[in-house]
Homo-oligomer: A and B are copies of this chain.
Amino acid sequence: MPPEEFRRLAHQAADWMADFLANVGRHPVLPRVEPGATQAALPAQAPEQGEEMDDVLADFERLIVPSLTHWNHPGFLAYFATSASGPGILGEMLAATVNPNGMLWRTSPASTELEQVVLHWLWQLLGLPDQCFGVIHDTASTATFHAVAAARETLDLPVRTRGLSGAPTLVLYTSEQAHNSVEKAAMSLGVGLENVRKIEVDAEYRMKPEALDAAITADLLGGRRPFCVVATVGTTAATAIDPVPKIADICRRRRLWLHVDAAYGGSAAVVPEMSHVLAGCDRADSLVVNPHKWLFTPLDLSALYCRRPEILRRAFSLVPDFLTTPEDAQVVNLMDYGIPLGRRFRALKLWFVLRYFGREGIIANIREHLRLARSVAACLAEHEDFELLAPLTFSTVCFRFHPTGVSETQLERLNRRLLEAVNASGRFFLSHAVLRGRFTLRLAVGNIRTTQEHIDQAWELIRFKAREMTL
């Protein structure tokens, strides 16, 4: 593309982007689109001749944007937020333009070193002590996979060379509220789903340390090999915080690898009054936190920290001739720490975000989200027809509509209908979970564009739709 054509189109895109972000709340947050509609609107094959880029951009606006779910919409209150702040987007524009591949230090010195620098900045912001090696992954699921692989590598078994055939049965521990990425890691690493012990939780959905300890004892007596515990700071459904200090004690005593999934909850620790959420995590062997969740960084950026990077390297490094460089002995080559060889320049957007907001700006934003969640939780708790289904630990409110005299079975149907009614409005998007068998609505604050006004409107819409339902 000739430079001046690119310049014209990039300016055109810049205006579109600024307009989009200023008005994202005017789009339906959930699109009104049938499965297959986008596919049907597109040709069955690539064009023979090149097309005008203006036509392509027009099609993007006409065919794609209306059929996207708008994660940047201030009414996006489902799952956990992933919102793209201005500085994060600028970082992505520039990263795509310089487009280095940071597989080796030599193939991109500045991105390799910036990754170490920004991950160290983040580590300090989280209030964690000393230094800790960090590496960026796409998602927390991938980060957890690598952490569990490192745990497996610490065993005195020749897994790297001989594989797991002939090895004892390895056992991994996590809570019954843990994210499914833990089980995915066990499946793919050859541990097997049956060897994931989903430890019972207490009334507040936190792993019971005594149950963990008992399960480990039972496995040892059964001749199996415990090797890893995954604790969670901010579980997906109820955002519970496992008692990491006690779990860390058990791991130390039992010599097990402790991985902490703080993908969502970790970011809150930047706020001084929330620093307790990472208590004990300084003793974890590895920890994952997702700036693309609650740190206003566009997808994808998940930070995996590992106390003993040499173990990750032992689990994943393999250096063929063609990837050796003269400076190998002096530098970090990030390809050595995981599966992917190529590496996009994701550190740039996080650098932009951390500098643009500063520690104070991050605290102000997260603190406001915590306040917004408390405000709506208070409304729900006070209303006679609603109930909270989990303690509010972060910014995610778990609740249900519960008018008097309605049976449990009816409650599920009622709340499913309420969820669909709210989501069909196009103004807000909530998601759900199941807690102790009860169908639960989740309202998760974390989008950088969500304000008190949106939360008030969401609460009003929820009440309105609930009332409609019972008329």
A116 CB contacts on chain B under 8 angstroms: 39
Residue of chain B at shortest CB distance from A190: B190
CB pair B109–A67 under 8 Å, yes or no, is yes
What are 17 A-B contacts defined by CB distance under 8 Å?
A: A9-B90, A10-B93, A35-B330, A38-B114, A42-B113, A50-B360, A51-B356, A53-B352, A66-B110, A79-B101, A93-B96, A138-B342, A139-B340, A141-B342, A158-B192, A180-B320, A181-B341
Is A460's beta carbon under 8 Å from chain B? no
| A53-B356, A90-B13, A163-B192 known; A96 vs B298 contact (CB < 8 Å) | yes
CB pair B110–A84 under 8 Å, yes or no, is no
The distance in angstroms between the C-alpha atoms of A412 and B444, with both chains bound, is 61
Stretch of A117-125, A201-209, A275-283, A380-388 that contacts chain B: A117-125
CB pair B316–A184 under 8 Å, yes or no, is yes
Is A193's beta carbon under 8 Å from chain B? yes
| A165-B170, A322-B236 known; A121 vs B342 contact (CB < 8 Å) | no
The distance in angstroms between the C-alpha atoms of A396 and B442, with both chains bound, is 54
A183-197: CB near B (< 8 Å → 1, else 0) gives: 111111111111100
Distance between A33 CB and nearest chain B CB, rounded to angstroms: 5
Is A271's beta carbon under 8 Å from chain B? no
Is A111's beta carbon under 8 Å from chain B? yes
Distance between A15 CB and nearest chain B CB, rounded to angstroms: 7
CB pair A164–B162 under 8 Å, yes or no, is no
Give the interface SS of chain A, mostly helix, strand, loop or mixed: helix
A104-135: CB near B (< 8 Å → 1, else 0) gives: 01111111011011001110110000000000
CB pair B46–A344 under 8 Å, yes or no, is no
Is A426's beta carbon under 8 Å from chain B? no
Is A149's beta carbon under 8 Å from chain B? yes
CB pair B344–A138 under 8 Å, yes or no, is yes
Residue of chain B at shortest CB distance from A431: B322
CB pair A114–B194 under 8 Å, yes or no, is no
Is A56's beta carbon under 8 Å from chain B? yes
A99: contacting residue among B1, B72, B432, CB under 8 A: B72
The distance in angstroms between the C-alpha atoms of A11 and B10, with both chains bound, is 8
A142: contacting residue among B86, B166, B195, B339, CB under 8 A: B339
